[in-house]
Structure 1
Amino acid sequence: MIKCLVQSRFTRCLSWTGVRRQSMFKSGFEHLQHIKKDDSKTHILYLNAAHSPTSLVSHGARILLENLQREKAVEEVKLWTEQLVPYKIDHALSKLKLLRGEGTDEDKDRFAPVLTAAEIINSMDVVVVATPMWNYTIPYVLKQYIDIVVQPGINFNDSSDSSLTKNSGRILVVISSAGAEYGPGEEIQDFLNPYLKQVFALMGFTRFFPIFIQGTASRSKTDCLEWTEKEAKKCATELNKILEATSL
C-alpha cells in the first residue's frame, strides 16, 4: 500500500538540474534518477475509490487481480482513507516557476513530493481503478489524485518525439458502477469512463478495459455481482494474453 504518496515504498533522490524544452508546456522537469522496479513482475497500481470492501467495484477488482496469472506486485492507494499530497495553489505556482526556470529552492522543496508521486506512474505496467460514478463522473478523491500525479515532462507531454512515448501500450482497467444505464444517443452521458480513458492514455496507458456496472438501482445485488464477476474474469483472460505476449 502506498502511504500518503509522500513517503512511498519507492525511494529515490530528486535531482534538479534545470528544465528542458517541451511542446505544450514549453519545458519539463529534468531529473537524473528513475524509480527502480523488478522487471520480472507485472507492477500494478490499484486506485481504490470504492465505498466499501463489499461494494460491486471492490468485488470486481478483487476477482480481476486474483485471476491475473503473471507474478505481480500490487500497490494499493485507498483514496478515501490515505492522506494524499495536499496539492494547493502554492504547488501549482511553484510548478509553473520551475517550468520557466525561475524556481527557488523553496519551490523545489514544495514540489518534490508531487514529483515523487508523479514519477511512480512511470514504474507501473497496469493501473486498476475501482470507483462508483458520482454526478456522471469520478469522485473528488480520485480527481485529486489525478491532479497531483499528472505532471508535464514526468509522465506525459504532447510531443510525439518525447522520450516518454516509450511508456505507451500499458494497461488501464476501470471498474465503475452507476445506478442508471448509459447508452449511445442518451441525453445523460457517462463522463467517467471517457475522462479516465483520455487522461491515462496521455500517460501511456493506451490499452483501455472498462467494466461498467450499470443499472444497479434497478437490478438485484445478486445479478450485479454475477455480471461483475463474469466480466472481471473475462477481462483477466484478455490481460493474461497481453501480459504473456509483451514485456509488461
Structure 2
Amino acid sequence: MTFEETPEKKQTILHINASITHDSVTDRVATKMVEHLTHHYHRQVKGGDKEAELSPSKFGDVLNIEECDVWSSKMPKFDRETMQRVWKARHGSEDEADQAAFKPIKELAEQMLRADFLIITSPVWNFSVPYALKQYIDCVVQAGLTFRDKDAEGPSRPYFKGRPLIVISSSGGKAPPANEDYVFPFISRIFAMCGFDDPHRVAIEGLAIYDKEECFQNAVKEANAIADQVVQNHKLQLDSNCLGNEDA
C-alpha cells in the first residue's frame, strides 16, 4: 500500500476511541472538540460569519468525521494465528484465510492514513493504556503498512509528517510524576512513527476526587484551545465548495 497526498479534499478527523463508555468524560470532551472544530470550519466557509449556525446533521458536510471504537466486537484480534496469516498475506500469499485475516487490518491502516487530525481518548489503566488500544496499535502500526520500511533511501520513516495528535486521557486520582507517565510518551512516540508528530494532551485528573462536571468543563476549554492552536499552526484548509457555497 502506498500513501499519496490529496491536497484538495475535506479534512478528516479520526477519533480512536478507547473510552470505557460513550458517556465517559473523555468521550464527551472529544465530542465537544469535534463540534468546536466543525463550527470553526463552518464559519470559515461562510465568509467569517461568527453567528452562522450549523446543525449536527450537517457536520459531515464540513469535515469527514470518523470513529474507530477499539472495544468493538468487530475489531480484529491480533493473536498468534492472525499475526502469522497477516505476515503471509503481506508477503505474497493468496490463500483465502491469509487474505481474510489481513483485510480488516489493512482497512484500519488505510483509515488512519486518511486522517488529517487524530484524536485518541483513553483512561489511564495501571499507568498505561487499556489492552484494547494496545491491540489496535499492534494491528495497524507496522512497517510498510502505516510507515515506510527501511530501504535504499534510508531507515524506517513516516509516509507524511506534521499532522496533529490530541490525546485525551482520564484518571481517578492525580497525575503521576512526569517520569512515571507512560501514557502520553508512549502514544505520542508510536503515532509519530506514522506522521502524527505534533502531539498535544488534555489530561483529565482527579475524577474520583473532584466534581466530574467541573473537570469536564475545564477539559473542554483546554481541548478547544488546543484545537484552535492546531488549526492556526497547521493552517488546515477546507474545500470552499463542501457546503455548496461557491461564494465563501
Give the TM-score of the pair, scaled to structure 1.
0.74
Superposed CA RMSD in Å reads 2.9
**Which residue of the partner structure matches residue 137 of structure 2?**
146
Q: Which of 36, 41, 53 is residue 67 of structure 1 equivalent to?
A: 36
Distance 1:118 1:168, change over 3 A: same
Unmatched 5+ residue regions in structure 2? 42-61, 240-248
- Tell whether the 8 Å contact from 2:14 to 2:65 is kept in structure 1 after alignment: yes
Contact 2:89–2:95 under 8 Å retained in 1: no
Q: 1:234 aligned to 2:225?
A: yes
**Which range is displaced more, 67-76 or 81-90?**
81-90
Distance in 1 separating the partners of 2:186 and 2:107: 24
Aligned partner letter, 2:211: S
Task: Name the aligned partner's letter for residue 210 of structure 1.
Answer: R
- Aligned twin of 1:48: 17
CA contact (8 A) 1:35 1:119 kept: no
Structure-2 change in CA distance of 1:162 and 1:168 (3 Å): farther
Q: Matches of 1:46 and 1:85 in 2, distance apart?
A: 18
1:168–1:204: 8 Å Cα contact kept in structure 2?
yes
**Residue type of the partner of 2:204?**
I
Q: How does 1:75-154 map to 2 (within 5 A)?
A: 75-97=66-88, 101=91, 103=93, 105-106=95-96, 107-154=98-145
- Give the match for residue 162 of structure 2: 169
Cα shift at 1:124: 1.1
The runs of 5 or more residues in structure 1 that have no matched partner are 1-30
Contact 2:143 2:156 in 1 (8 A): no
SS at match of 2:217: helix
CA 1:111/1:78 → structure 2, altered by over 3 Å: closer, same or farther? closer
In 2 relative to 1, CA 49–102 (structure 1 residues): closer, same or farther, beyond 3 Å? closer
Counterpart residue identity of residue 67, structure 2:
E
Paired AA for residue 118 in structure 2: V
Q: Return the offset for 1:54.
A: 2.6
In the other structure, the counterpart of 1:180 is 173
- Which one-letter code corresponds to 1:140 in the other structure? Y
The CA distance in 2 between the partners of 1:109 and 1:225, in whole Å, is 41
Give me the whole-angstrom Cα distance separating, in 2, the residues matched to 1:228 and 1:49. Answer: 17
Change (3 A) 1:51 1:185: closer
In structure 2, C-alpha distance between the alignment counterparts of 1:130 and 1:222, rounded to whole Å? 18
Q: Report the secondary structure of 2:78's partner residue.
A: coil
TM-score computed with the length of structure 2 as normaliser: 0.74
How many residues get paired?
214
Map Cα deviations across residues 51-73 of structure 1 (whole Å, 9 max, x no partner).
22332111210121111123311
CA distance in 2 between counterparts of 1:98 and 1:233 reads 42
Could you tell me the percent identity over the aligned residues? Answer: 29
Q: 1:109 and 1:54 mapped to 2: Cα distance?
A: 34
User: 1:64, 1:235 within 8 Å by CA — same for their partners in 2?
Assistant: no
Change over 3 Å in CA distance of 1:72–1:164 after alignment to 2: farther
How much has 1:165 moved relative to structure 2? 3.4
Deviation at 1:229, TM superposition (A): 1.6
Deviates more, 1:157-166 or 1:137-146: 157-166
Q: 1:185 to 1:78 in 2, by over 3 A?
A: closer
Letter in 1 for 2:10: K
Partner of 1:18: none
Q: What's the CA shift string for 1:48-100, capped at 9, x where partnerless? A: 2222233211121012111112331111122323411232212212344456x
Cα gap change, 1:50 to 1:242, in 2 (>3 Å): same
Match of 2:245 in 1: none
Between the aligned partners of 1:144 and 1:163, the Cα distance in structure 2 is: 21
More off after superposition, 80-89 vs 39-48: 80-89
Aligned to 1:223: 214
Does the Cα contact within 8 Å between 2:147 and 2:156 map onto a contact in 1?
no
Letter in 2 for 1:57: T
Contact kept? 2:77, 2:135, Cα under 8 Å:
no
